[in-house]
Chain A
Amino acid sequence: MQGQNQQQAYDRGITIFSPDGRLYQVEYAREAVKRGSASVGIRTPDGVVLAAERRTRSPLMERDSVEKLHKIDDHVGIASAGHVADARQLIDVARRQSQVNQLRYGEPVGVETLTKHVTDHIQQYTQTGGARPFGVALLVGGVENDGTPRLYETDPSGTPYEWKAVAIGGNREDIQRRLEEEYDDALSLGEGVDLALESLAEATEDGFPAEGIAVSTVPTETGSVESLSTDEIGERLEALDLLAEEDEGDAE
């Protein structure tokens, strides 16, 4: 009986490798990310776009309470997919580190530096007894001190990846395929927003209501996170023929 417990231990304890060298709990955490609604990040020469689908369970729920895009510091935003509560913890880690960097060095934190701080934190939860991994993936988008736009992904293993354009969450493959087909190094920021909306729409049949999408940009010109208003998003969706009536397509 004890032998049986031992055999299964790698399925439960995250600090235990399976015989073929896998960490099942980390892989299960990746599944949790796939269950979340999608987020997309696109890097253009003029700045970074972050966009996310905001799904509500009921028309009685306030859309604004579904937070998928988060301002971290003036020059960095994060989009999440997966467990919202887990994301919130990482968001706070990132916000604190941004201010620690400002206090320590008198300068805004670099996007790469910030991402690696967050992924180092995530990694600790894949190696610590009694803990579980973060069931969330993040897109970290921002503009460096010298005006360079950067876009990173974090995954539940704690590995950072840098991207030109990337999707996380549900229907990731379809959205990513669309990004790979349409991405161009010379996109304007506005074209980047449109591509983000079009690629997110890969996962739906009827498009979205304007309230069902959140979009933020970090333009290189200002280096500051800016959120698009619902009206602006509605206009863009309409122009792209992706505007659905409010609460349609929310059945899932």
Chain B
Amino acid sequence: MMDADNPYDPEIAPSDWGEHAGEDQENVNKTGTTTVGIATDAGVVIATDRRASLAGRFVSNKKVVKVEEIHPSAAMTLVGSVGGAQSFISSLRAEVNLYEARRGEEMSMTALSTLAGNFARGGPYFAINPILGGVDEDGSHVFSIDPAGGVMKDDYTVTGSGMQVAYGYLEQSWHDDMSMSEAKQAAAKAVISAAERDTGSGNGLVLCEVTEGDVSITEYDDFPNPEEV
């Protein structure tokens, strides 16, 4: 059960965990989703829509919060299978807590992103494509993590079915000295644009701001005026 010597698996997990995950694909809730992460000098902004769907045809939930705190200075988005993403996040959170309890210091973003990549590749999770955003002593960082465990750091990144639309907006609006408030507006506009055209995204907005030691998440049931977020 516990294997601290295996760097690719969570330390606290049964060995057969997730063995049947991914069977019966028709009934697996997916987030479809548009999630956006932007790193600024002052912190990280993450924005997501709120829709969950079955096979992209039926809206199974309109109030999903697809970004969660996983570390005192980091948050992660749920993208792909809801079950896979939820267990991925709870495992990472447990690892973050264990690391802090044992070593008396928080994981750096290098450590957290490496661990997340290892779990995505080797752990009992499936079909996830989250964004990880956080702040450590080296500054603000956003990473996209793909289902095979690829970890890519960037200044801004988008994952989910609405990514092309959101990237189209960000390519025009992003610049390298964005303030937190500019980043919040850009991230909100990117998600709202994607929700207009992507059937997997919609039903409102969640904005998350990460600064050193603080993760604050704001939920909007409808799309707010992006100039006022």
Evaluate contact between A106 and B114: CB separation under 8 angstroms: yes
Complex: A113 Cα to B5 Cα, angstroms: 14
A96 to chain B, nearest CB (A): 7
Evaluate contact between B103 and A104: CB separation under 8 angstroms: no
Evaluate contact between B102 and A104: CB separation under 8 angstroms: no
Q: Which residues of A contact B114 (CB under 8 A)?
A: 104-107
B173: interface (CB < 8 Å): no
A1: interface (CB < 8 Å): no
A251: interface (CB < 8 Å): no
Evaluate contact between A100 and B118: CB separation under 8 angstroms: no
A118 to chain B, nearest CB (A): 13
Q: Which residues of B contact A110 (CB under 8 A)?
A: 103
A147 to chain B, nearest CB (A): 12
B76: interface (CB < 8 Å): no
Evaluate contact between B115 and A112: CB separation under 8 angstroms: no
Fill in one digit per residue for B1-13: 1 if any A CB lies within 8 Å of its CB, else 0. Answer: 0001101100000
- Which residue of chain A has the shortest Cβ distance to B112 in the bound complex? A105
- Which residue of chain B has the shortest Cβ distance to A104 in the bound complex? B7
Evaluate contact between B111 and A105: CB separation under 8 angstroms: yes
A61: interface (CB < 8 Å): no
Evaluate contact between A105 and B115: CB separation under 8 angstroms: yes
Complex: A112 Cα to B103 Cα, angstroms: 8
Total number of residue pairs linking A and B with CB closer than 8 Å? 33
Complex: A96 Cα to B8 Cα, angstroms: 15
Fill in one digit per residue for B111-126: 1 if any A CB lies within 8 Å of its CB, else 0. Answer: 1011100100000000
Interface residues of A in 98-146 (CB under 8 A from B): 100-101, 103-107, 110, 112-113, 116
Complex: A150 Cα to B8 Cα, angstroms: 28
If over half of B's interface residues share one DSSP class (helix, strand or loop), that class is named, otherwise mixed; here it is helix
Q: Which residues of A contact B113 (CB under 8 A)?
A: 106
Complex: A107 Cα to B5 Cα, angstroms: 15
Of the residues B4, B103, B110, contact of A106 by C-beta under 8 Å: B110
B132: interface (CB < 8 Å): no
B166 to chain A, nearest CB (A): 28
Q: Which residues of A contact B5 (CB under 8 A)?
A: 96-97, 100
B129 to chain A, nearest CB (A): 20
B75: interface (CB < 8 Å): no
B65: interface (CB < 8 Å): no
B60: interface (CB < 8 Å): no
Q: Which residues of B contact A106 (CB under 8 A)?
A: 110-111, 113-114
Evaluate contact between B111 and A107: CB separation under 8 angstroms: yes
B199 to chain A, nearest CB (A): 37
Of the residues B4, B7, B102, B107, contact of A103 by C-beta under 8 Å: B7
Q: Which residues of B contact A113 (CB under 8 A)?
A: 102-103
Interface residues of A in 166-215 (CB under 8 A from B): none
A144 to chain B, nearest CB (A): 10
Q: Which residues of A contact B8 (CB under 8 A)?
A: 103-104
Fill in one digit per residue for A229-246: 1 if any B CB lies within 8 Å of its CB, else 0. Answer: 000000000000000000
Fill in one digit per residue for A63-104: 1 if any B CB lies within 8 Å of its CB, else 0. Answer: 000000000000000000000000000000000110011011
Given contact pairs A96-B5, A100-B7, A107 touches B103 in the complex (Cβ within 8 A): no
CB-based closest 6 A-B pairs: A106-B114, A104-B7, A105-B111, A103-B7, A106-B110, A100-B7
25 contacts between A and B (CB under 8 A): A96-B5, A100-B4, A100-B5, A100-B7, A103-B7, A103-B8, A103-B118, A104-B8, A104-B114, A105-B107, A105-B108, A105-B110, A105-B111, A105-B114, A105-B115, A106-B110, A106-B111, A106-B113, A107-B108, A107-B110, A107-B111, A110-B103, A112-B103, A113-B102, A113-B103
New contact pairs (19) apart from A100-B5, A106-B111, CB-CB < 8 Å:
A97-B5, A100-B4, A103-B7, A103-B8, A103-B118, A104-B7, A104-B8, A104-B118, A105-B107, A105-B108, A105-B110, A105-B115, A106-B110, A106-B113, A110-B103, A112-B103, A113-B102, A113-B103, A116-B102
List residues of chain A with CB under 8 Å of any chain B CB.
96-97, 100-101, 103-107, 110, 112-113, 116
List residues of chain B with CB under 8 Å of any chain A CB.
4-5, 7-8, 102-103, 107-108, 110-111, 113-115, 118
